Amino acid sequence: MSHDLIIRGGSVVDGTGAEPYTADIAIDGKEITKIGRVSAPGKRDIDARGLIVTPGFVDLHTHLDAQIGWDPEVTSISWHGVTTALLGNCGVTFAPCKPDDHGLLAAMMETVEDIPRRAILEGLPWNWKSYGEYLNSIEAMAPAINVCGMVGHCALRYYVMGDRGIDEPEGDLQDLLATRHRYHSDSIDDIEGTGLRRPSIDEVRQIAALAGQSVKEGAIGFSTNRMSGHHLPDGRAIPGTYAHRDEIRAIAREVGAHGGIMQTVFGMPTDMRFDDEFELLAYEAEVAQCALFSANVEMGVNKQDVRVQQLLSAGLNVASVTVPRAGGGVGGLLVGNFFRSDSWKKLNDMPAEHRLQAIREPYFREKLINEIKDRTDGKATRRWFWMGNKDRPRYTHALNESLYDMAQSAGEHPVETWLRLTDESDGNALFHMRGFNVDIDGVEELIKTDWVVPAQGDAGAHVSQMNDSGCTSFVLSHWVRDQGALSLPQAIRKLTSMPANLLGLSDRGVLAVGKKADLNVIDFEQVAERQPEIVHDMPFDAPRFIQRGTGYRATVCNGTITLENDELTGNRGGRVIRSYDR
What CATH number has the domain bearing residue 537?
2.30.40.10
Considering its fold, how many domains does the chain have in total?
2
Q: Estimate to the nearest angstrom the gap between the alpha carbon of 93 and the chain centroid.
A: 14
> How far are the Cα atoms of 89, 161, 164, 535 from residue 110, in angstroms, in the given order?
14, 21, 21, 18
Predicted model pTM: 0.94
Q: How far apart are CA 475 and CA 455, in angstroms?
A: 9
182: pLDDT strictly greater than 90: no
pLDDT of residue 189: 44
pLDDT category, 543, cuts 50, 70, 90? confident
The residue range of the domain holding 519 is 5-56+508-569
185: pLDDT strictly greater than 50: no
195: pLDDT strictly greater than 60: no
Q: What is the dihedral of CA 73, 579, 56, 83, to 10 degrees?
A: 0
What would the pLDDT profile of 319-337 be if each residue is shown by its tens digit?
999 999 999 899 999 888 8
Among residues 396, 420, 436, the one where a domain terminates is 436
Residue 532 lies in a domain: yes
Residue 314 lies in a domain: no
pLDDT of residue 270: 52
pLDDT of residue 69: 92
Residue 486: phi and psi, rounded to 5, are -125, 145
Q: Identify the top-confidence range among 48-57, 188-197, 457-466.
A: 48-57
Say yes or no: 332 and 430 in one domain.
yes
pLDDT of residue 11: 98
> Which residues contact residue 465 at a Cβ distance below 8 angstroms, ignoring those fewer than 6 apart?
114, 329, 330, 335, 337, 545
What would the pLDDT profile of 348-385 be if each residue is shown by its tens digit?
999 988 999 999 999 999 999 999 999 999 999 999 99
Percent of the chain with pLDDT over 90: 79
Residue 257 lies in a domain: no
Q: Estimate to the nearest angstrom the gap between the alpha carbon of 17 and the chain centroid.
A: 24
Residue 213 lies in a domain: no
Q: How far apart are CA 94 and CA 286, in angstroms?
A: 28
E strand spans, 207-273? 221-225, 261-265
Among residues 376, 409, 436, the one where a domain terminates is 436
Element (DSSP H or E) covering residue 528? strand 528-529
Q: How far apart are CA 187 and CA 208, in angstroms?
A: 17
Bridge partners (DSSP) listed for residue 319:
292
Residue 418 lies in a domain: yes
pLDDT of residue 115: 83
Residue 350 lies in a domain: yes
pLDDT of residue 187: 41
pLDDT category, 272, cuts 50, 70, 90? low
Q: CA torsion sign, 398 to 426 to 76 to 91?
A: positive
Among residues 436, 457, 474, the one where a domain terminates is 436
> Which residues contact residue 546 at a Cβ distance below 8 angstroms, ignoring those fewer than 6 apart?
75, 76, 467, 532, 533, 535
pLDDT of residue 155: 96
pLDDT of residue 412: 97
Say yes or no: 333 and 432 in one domain.
yes
Mean pLDDT throughout 441-450? Answer: 96
Q: How far apart are CA 93 and CA 529, in angstroms?
A: 29
pLDDT category, 527, cuts 50, 70, 90? very high
178: pLDDT strictly greater than 80: no
Residue 182 lies in a domain: no
Mean pLDDT of the chain: 92
Percent of the chain with pLDDT over 70: 94
Say yes or no: 418 and 337 in one domain.
yes
Residue 292 lies in a domain: no
